[in-house]
């Protein structure tokens, strides 16, 4: 970092932290999320590529499907260690062992509130069950992690008693769950420090995000001596989720200077995969992996970033480190440097006066609450510099027809002139828009890597004849993203036109950039 003062603790510099990912267990407990076997296998393989040390592959006793998934994940023979979850019940542990996992994570409620109202056992009975479970796991040759569920609302003397008992029984790791996410970082630091003074086994933490502090509590626990953290991709998990893997790891690496085995360049790719399979949209504001994590709009910021990226970014963390891209976004806060760069990137050269006019039109659009798409920038610039003749469009749309209803699979047919040749393509989808968009993508033929990156639909006025405005972003294989918009009373037509506009723009920008090289 050039000339940046950075006030951070040096305590963790060089320390190694193990990453335990529970996306496939606590993450799948996110309300409304259910992953297929195939998706679980693909996620497990991706977590292995990412460099996760251990995954909690599931809770085998929960269902036959869950047991099959854990067994199949074990069968993949990945480098990471596969762990199964069990209560302190022999049948649960047997279900894990049947799957062939190398590690069993056994848990029991230790707080009075959970112990009394959920399992109805005395404190002594709970200790006995925990010790028996640990001994049983160890007797069967597996690594054992014990969790005192709701540890952060458990009486400290009792927590010490049960932790020392399971340590004595041979447990390899003790996990301290902040089950309902009530800790703050200073309290977490104190608690972990105190637990460290009572047991010698490695400590792990599992923090929930009820107050948005899961990541901060996890890193505070590491500061206090925990050597392993439980995380999930995109922070999935019960209620408000668990600590996000990407945030926890990037804080550990770039702020504390600690080490993990994570290959951070795969963070975005992993986040997108889990977003798609889980169906839980990642907020554009989400740190590290959100759409806006490295996007700049304001004139002051973009001017600074165009000169030196450290001015308005952390400096120690770059988009490249996490597989992301820096974006300069045009809107009402845009400055002339950003607009000039955007204009040049689509192959135009403008005078100072023309630049000022483009800027003022962009601000007008921004003031009306409209995002400025690449197609808008192109059209505005073209009209100002007086280029009248439109370039030939790569896709020239001729006809669109859709069929939908409760008795047929939604189907769309699209006819267009593509690169000079007339093509007709039909496609099915979950609805008419999905079918039509798929048909347009199929027009490009096999091997053309243009993927739909974003789709936004807005009704501009009320009523069933409302004008539908669709904004679509497409991405090519190099990660170049181009967006375009179309408004129509017919949602299918608005969607198809927006997609065709975006693809045409992407192809034009690629051509322009190649010519300029």
Residues in touch with ligand KIV (CB under 6 A) = 26, 107, 147, 149, 177, 179, 206, 208
Pick 152 or 264: Cβ nearer Zn ion: 152
Shortest distance in whole angstroms from residue 92 CB to ligand KIV: 12
Shortest distance in whole angstroms from residue 399 CB to ligand KIV: 54
Q: Which does 147 bind (CB under 5 to 8 A by kind): Zn ion, ligand KIV, none?
A: ligand KIV
Q: How do 173-178 and 451-459 pair as beta strands? A: unpaired
Shortest distance in whole angstroms from residue 146 CB to ligand KIV: 10
Q: Which does 324 bind (CB under 5 to 8 A by kind): Zn ion, ligand KIV, none?
A: none
Pick 234 or 504: Cβ nearer ligand KIV: 234
Pick 82 or 493: Cβ nearer ligand KIV: 82
Shortest distance in whole angstroms from residue 179 CB to Zn ion: 6
Pick 235 or 429: Cβ nearer ligand KIV: 235
Q: How do 481-488 and 468-475 pair as beta strands? A: antiparallel
Shortest distance in whole angstroms from residue 255 CB to Zn ion: 25
CA angle, residues 70, 73, 79, in degrees to nearest 5: 130
Nearest to 330 by CA among 372, 369, 365: 372
Q: Which does 149 bind (CB under 5 to 8 A by kind): ligand KIV, Zn ion, none?
A: ligand KIV
* Residues that contact Zn ion, how many (by CB under 5 A): 1
Place of tokens 């795969």: 266
The two three-digit tokens of residue 155, written as one number: 């009486």
Pick 230 or 501: Cβ nearer ligand KIV: 230
**Coil, strand, or helix at residue 249?**
helix
**Coil, strand, or helix at residue 189?**
helix
**Coil, strand, or helix at residue 400?**
strand
How far apart CA 203 and CA 223 sit, in angstroms, is 12
Place of tokens 């209560």: 87
Pick 131 or 400: Cβ nearer ligand KIV: 131
In the chain, what is the greatest distance between 2 CA atoms, to the nearest angstrom? 85
77 exposed, middle or buried (CB, 10 Å; 0-12, 13-18, 19+)? exposed
Pick 191 or 268: Cβ nearer Zn ion: 191
Pick 52 or 334: Cβ nearer ligand KIV: 52
Q: Which does 301 bind (CB under 5 to 8 A by kind): Zn ion, ligand KIV, none?
A: none
Pick 12 or 85: Cβ nearer ligand KIV: 85
78: number of Cβ within 10 Å: 16
Nearest to 166 by CA among 178, 185, 181, 151: 151
How far apart CA 183 and CA 180 sit, in angstroms, is 9
Shortest distance in whole angstroms from residue 191 CB to Zn ion: 17
Position closest to Zn ion via CB: 26
Shortest distance in whole angstroms from residue 197 CB to ligand KIV: 22
345 exposed, middle or buried (CB, 10 Å; 0-12, 13-18, 19+)? middle
Shortest distance in whole angstroms from residue 206 CB to Zn ion: 6
Shortest distance in whole angstroms from residue 131 CB to ligand KIV: 18
Pick 147 or 441: Cβ nearer ligand KIV: 147
The two three-digit tokens of residue 2, written as one number: 């050039």
**Interaction pattern, residues 13-32, with Zn ion; x per rule: CB under 5 A:** -------------x------
Contact 514, 432 (CB under 8 A): no
Pick 84 or 177: Cβ nearer ligand KIV: 177
Shortest distance in whole angstroms from residue 177 CB to ligand KIV: 3
Contact 324, 268 (CB under 8 A): yes
Shortest distance in whole angstroms from residue 77 CB to ligand KIV: 26
Beta strand ranges found along 366-507 (DSSP E):
395-403, 411-418, 421-428, 451-459, 468-475, 481-488
Q: Which does 323 bind (CB under 5 to 8 A by kind): ligand KIV, Zn ion, none?
A: none
Pick 231 or 317: Cβ nearer ligand KIV: 231
Shortest distance in whole angstroms from residue 305 CB to ligand KIV: 40
Half-sphere exposure of 94 (CA within 13 A, CB side): 3
Phi-psi region of 469 (alpha: psi -120 to 50; beta: other; left: phi over 0): beta
Q: Which does 107 bind (CB under 5 to 8 A by kind): Zn ion, ligand KIV, none?
A: ligand KIV
269: number of Cβ within 10 Å: 15
Distances (CA, A) of 230 to 104, 189, 221: 15, 16, 11
DSSP designation for 231: E
Nearest to 57 by CA among 47, 264, 174, 49: 47
Q: How do 228-231 and 18-21 pair as beta strands? A: parallel
Q: Which does 163 bind (CB under 5 to 8 A by kind): Zn ion, ligand KIV, none?
A: none
- C-alpha 81 chain-centroid distance: 22
Residues that bind Zn ion (CB under 5 A): 26
């Amino acid at each position: 970092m050039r000339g940046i003062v950075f006030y951070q603790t040096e305590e963790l510099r060089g320390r190694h932290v193990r990453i335990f990912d529970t996306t496939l267990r606590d993450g799948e407990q996110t309300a409304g999320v259910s992953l297929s076997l195939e998706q679980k296998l693909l996620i497990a393989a991706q977590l292995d590529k990412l460099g996760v040390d251990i995954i909690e592959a599931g809770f085998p006793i929960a269902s036959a499907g869950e047991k099959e998934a854990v067994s199949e994940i074990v069968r993949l023979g990945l480098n990471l260690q596969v762990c199964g979850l069990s209560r302190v019940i022999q049948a649960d542990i047997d279900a894990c062992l049947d799957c062939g996992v190398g590690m069993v994570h056994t848990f029991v409620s230790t707080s009075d509130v959970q112990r009394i109202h959920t399992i109805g056992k005395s404190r002594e009975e709970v200790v006995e069950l925990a010790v028996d479970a640990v001994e049983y796991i160890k007797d069967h040759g597996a690594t054992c992690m014990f969790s005192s569920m709701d540890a952060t609302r458990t009486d400290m003397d009792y927590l010490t008693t049960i932790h020392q008992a399971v340590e004595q029984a041979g447990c390899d790791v003790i996990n301290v769950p902040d089950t309902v996410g009530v800790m703050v970082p200073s309290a977490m630091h104190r608690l972990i420090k105190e637990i460290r003074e009572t047991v010698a086994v490695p400590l792990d933490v599992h923090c929930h995000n009820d107050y948005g502090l899961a990541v901060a509590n996890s890193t505070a626990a590491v500061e206090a001596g925990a050597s392993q953290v439980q995380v999930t991709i995109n922070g999935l998990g019960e209620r408000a989720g668990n600590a996000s893997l990407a945030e926890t790891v990037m804080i550990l690496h770039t702020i504390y200077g600690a080490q993990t085995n994570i290959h951070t360049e795969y963070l975005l790719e992993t986040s997108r995969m889990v977003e798609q399979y889980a169906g839980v949209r990642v907020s554009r504001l989400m740190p590290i992996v959100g759409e806006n994590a490295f996007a700049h709009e304001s004139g002051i910021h973009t001017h600074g970033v165009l000169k030196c990226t450290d001015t308005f970014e952390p400096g120690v963390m770059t988009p490249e480190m996490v597989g992301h891209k820096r974006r300069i976004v045009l809107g009402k806060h845009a400055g002339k440097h950003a607009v000039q760069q955007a204009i040049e990137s689509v192959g135009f050269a403008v005078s100072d006066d023309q630049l000022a006019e483009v800027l003022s039109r962009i601000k007008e659009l921004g003031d009306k609450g409209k995002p400025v798409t690449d197609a808008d920038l192109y059209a505005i610039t073209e009209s100002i510099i007086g280029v009248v003749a439109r370039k030939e469009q790569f896709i020239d749309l001729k006809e669109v027809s859709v069929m939908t209803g409760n008795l047929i699979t939604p189907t769309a047919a699209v006819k267009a002139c593509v690169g000079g040749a007339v093509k007709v393509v039909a496609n099915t989808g979950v609805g008419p828009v999905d079918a039509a968009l798929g048909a347009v993508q199929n027009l490009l033929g096999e091997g053309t890597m243009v993927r739909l990156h974003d789709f936004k639909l807005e009704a501009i006025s009320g009523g069933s004849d409302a004008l539908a405005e669709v904004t679509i972003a497409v991405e090519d294989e190099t990660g170049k993203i181009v967006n375009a918009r179309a408004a129509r009373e017919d949602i299918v037509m608005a969607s198809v036109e927006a997609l065709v506009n975006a693809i045409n723009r992407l192809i034009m920008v690629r051509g322009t950039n190649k010519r300029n090289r």
